[in-house]
Structures are given as C-alpha cells and as structure tokens.
Chain A
Amino acid sequence: MAATASMMQSFGPNLSAQNDLVPDWTRTEVSTGTTIMAVEYDGGVVIGADSRTTTGAYIANRVTDKLTPIHDRIFCCRSGSAADTQAIADVVAYQLGFHSIELDEPPLVETAAHLFKASCYRYREELTAGILVAGWDRRRGGQVYCVPIGGMLVRQPVSVGGSGSTYIYGFMDSNYKPSMSKEQCLELTATALTLAMERDGSSGGVVRLASISEDGVERRVILGNQLPKISTH
C-alpha cells in the first residue's frame, strides 16, 4: 500500500488528493484529537478522557486509553499527536521513577508536572502535545496541572484539553463549584465529556474515568450506550 501511494503521488498532487485509491489517512499523522478533563476534589483528583484516535478521517483506535500512569498516584491525560505524547510520557515516567528511587519517597505531582513542562518547552518547535498532569501526594493532596502546547505550566482546580474541550468551556464554567465531592466530580466529568463527544468529530467512543486518592487509583469505563442522554433538541 505504501509503495502504491508513493507512485501515485508522483503524477501530481491533484490526482492523489482526489483519488479514492489513496485515502487521506495514509498520509495524515496519527492524532489524539480528543477531549480530556481533570478535576480536583478534597482528597484527590478525577480524570477523564474519550477514546478516539484518528488519522485524518479514519479512526485508527476507537478504544484508546489516553489516561497514562506516570507513577503510582500520578497520571497524565494526553492530547495532540499520539506519537509525541507517548514519547514524552515514557521519558517522564522514567525520569520520575528514577527520582523517586533517589528520594526513597513517592514523588510530588508538582515534580511530574515540571518534568513534563521541561520536555514540552525545550522541544516546543517539534512537538504537538497538550497534557494534563493529575494525581495525589501527601504534601498537597489532589492537584491538577495543565501543560498546553508551547510548554506553559499552570495549576488549576479544573482543566479541560484537546480539540473537544472548546465546546465544554461554558458548561464547565457554569457547573464546576469548589468543594465538590468525588461522586459529583465523576458525574461532572462524564457529562462534560459526553457533551464534547457529541459535538467534536475527533472525540468519541467510550468515556474512560479514573479517580486518584491516598487509597490508590480506581478506573472505570462508560460504554457508548451507557453515556448520559442529554440533548433535547
């Protein structure tokens, strides 16, 4: 298939652009066009993501896991280029594991966030990665840090990311309140992700949720037919 593609393209860009024999997904980078969200509550964090990975118009993976463990109680939510975010997460997981062994203590979420920021900022011209770092540590409890494209680092009580996030800023602003319980955060995240998945073509599939606290990590999946039904119009 790859050999055919390169032969076709030598006849000129117009032919290959409209030729159904060479679909656009053979030439487009794999992207986690996505919706990710992380919320702090008193005692931990709740994180969530959709499960769609696309190469152009083709869904390469419809059950992706975008919630990647970096350490026992620190996760990251990945958006942007799938290759870039996987590579960065691997590097940070290694660095953090090493640091934790040196310290002989579980690492801080802030440390993980700074490691992400260091890689994303240094290689900002080559990377397309938007990452939410979330977890629990003994010093500051549940924390969410946002490392968007470009390599900024900011802590926020609630944060959304990915292509689908634009559609749910209004919903998040109006429905998030400080001091919500874990169950309320899970419900808010599931509803917000469902709304984004309904509007964003690059987000969809199932909703993956995880809650991280002192007691550990609890993961759950909400399948497509179990998603909250919201639209009335």
Chain B
Amino acid sequence: MEKRCLDAQFKGVSTGTTILAATFDGGVVIGSDSRASIGGEYVSSKTINKVIQVHDRIFCCMAGSLADAQAVLKTAKFHLSFHSVQMESSPQVIAAASVLKELCYKNKDELQAGFITAGWDRKKGPQIYVVSLGGMLIKQEVTIGGSGSTYIYGYVDAKYRPNMSREECLQFATNALALAMGRDNVSGGVAHLVVITESGAEHTVVPGDKLPKFHDE
C-alpha cells in the first residue's frame, strides 16, 4: 500500500489547477483553467476565475491554498492601490510582485500560497514574476504552475519562443492549458486567458468544446 502512495508524498500539496503566463512581443498572456475540486472527487465549481486583477494592467494567478491566496491578494490589492496613490502613477509590475513576496515571506510559516504576477508597465514593458511558496521572487519569460503544470513542462520547453506575436502566444497558451486539462483530473472546465499590453487588458474565455483537440480525442 505504502509503495503506491510514494508519488503523492513526494509531489506535495498543490491546488488542483493549471496556471501559466508567457511573454510575447509587446505584452503578456496569463491564463488558468476553471475547476475547483474537493480532493479530486467532486468538482465544486466548473467556472471559477483564477486570474485576479490587482490593478489596471497587473493580473495575478494563485497557486496553493485558495483561502491563503485570497487573503494575501486582498491585502496586496490594498497595499498596491495605496502605493499607487502615494506615487501618483500606475504601479510597476515588480511593485505588485514585491508586495506579494513580502507577505508570503514574512508569513511563510503560516501560509501556503504562491503567485504568478503578470502585467505591463511603462518602465519595463511586459513582465512576469513568480512568487513561490516560501517567498522567493524571480522574473521569468514564461512560467507554469499548479498540479496540471507537470504535464506540460515538456510542451512549454519545446514550443515557447521569445518575441512571438500576440496570436501565436495566445494559441500557445490555449494549447498548453488544453493539454494540461486533458491529463490532470483536477484541472478542467474553460480556459480563462487575459492579454495585457500597453493599450489595456483583454479577457477571453475559451469554453471546453472550443478547446483544441489532439490526436486521441
């Protein structure tokens, strides 16, 4: 019995979800699935949106404990808008990521939440930051997270190229989400995608039957 549980012990706790973000020429795409499940046995919501807006051109995806992530994001939104008022300008993406990092790092013993922060600001253009479970902050061109992400590491490594066009990047993100949702039983539903550029943020929803199909479907 114990031998079969080895995998679960080594993989650790992570939300049943798939989240990702990718940079393209002029902006970022950030996306997630829409399934909330209880222990992989019951789907408690088929359509939740895991991509949260924290400012005009800054969005976050949550990973880990949903309760912790929501609490942290609520605090972070407040800090960020206060910071924005003080600075008399839109916050930088790294400011949003740093606020999240401070909260995650200072409270690392109590919290189990990680974030992907993606957005556009005038100083550095499109950026993606990852705040991991213990509070590490790193900047990346493309990143994936959640339980479904393990199945698409190979696909993302092979397919992502820097400076793609907006359409190519959107297709890449949609394909990656569809592949992960196809293999991970706690990811599914619709694909939420947000494209953030200088001109603003556009939210697209791709319903399950419009997702790309692969050879065995």
Contacts and interface: CB of A to CB of B under 8 A. Distances in A.
Interface of A: 125, 128, 149-150, 166-178, 191-192, 195-196, 198-199, 230-233
A83 to B, nearest CB: 13
Given A125-B1, A233-B142, 4 more contacts: A170-B180, A173-B183, A175-B158, A192-B154
Contacts of A166: 150-151
Interface string B168-180: 0000000110011
Contact of B157 (A125, A128, A175, A199): A199
A167 B3 contact: no
A171 B151 CA distance: 8
A49 to B, nearest CB: 16
Contacts of A178: 215
Decide if the interface of chain B is mainly helix, strand, loop or mixed. Answer: helix
B215 A170 contact: no
B68 interface: no
B214 A173 contact: yes
23 contacts: A125-B1, A149-B3, A166-B150, A167-B150, A168-B153, A168-B154, A169-B179, A170-B152, A170-B154, A170-B179, A173-B182, A173-B214, A174-B214, A177-B215, A192-B154, A195-B154, A195-B157, A196-B154, A199-B157, A230-B158, A233-B140, A233-B141, A233-B162
Contacts of B216: 173
A209 B176 CA distance: 27
Contacts of B140: 233
Given A177-B215, A233-B140, A170 B155 contact: yes
Nearest to A128: B3
A170 B183 contact: yes
Nearest to A164: B154
B161 interface: yes
Nearest to B152: A170
A198 B215 contact: no
Nearest to B184: A169
B186 to A, nearest CB: 14
A173 to B, nearest CB: 5
Contacts of B162: 232-233
Decide if the interface of chain A is mainly helix, strand, loop or mixed. Answer: helix
B160 interface: yes
Contacts of A149: 3-4
Contacts of A177: 215
Given A173-B179, A173-B214, A174-B179, A231 B157 contact: yes
Nearest to A232: B161
A172 B140 CA distance: 25
Nearest to A31: B6
Interface string B1-23: 10110100000000000000000
A197 B153 CA distance: 11
Contacts of A198: 157
B139 to A, nearest CB: 12
Chain B CB within 10 Å, residue with most, of A125, A174, A192: A174
Nearest to A167: B153
A170 B151 contact: yes
Nearest to B212: A174
A173 B215 contact: yes
A173 B4 CA distance: 25
A166 B151 CA distance: 5
The 9 closest A-B pairs by CB, nearest first: A170-B155, A171-B154, A168-B154, A170-B152, A170-B179, A195-B154, A167-B153, A169-B151, A171-B155
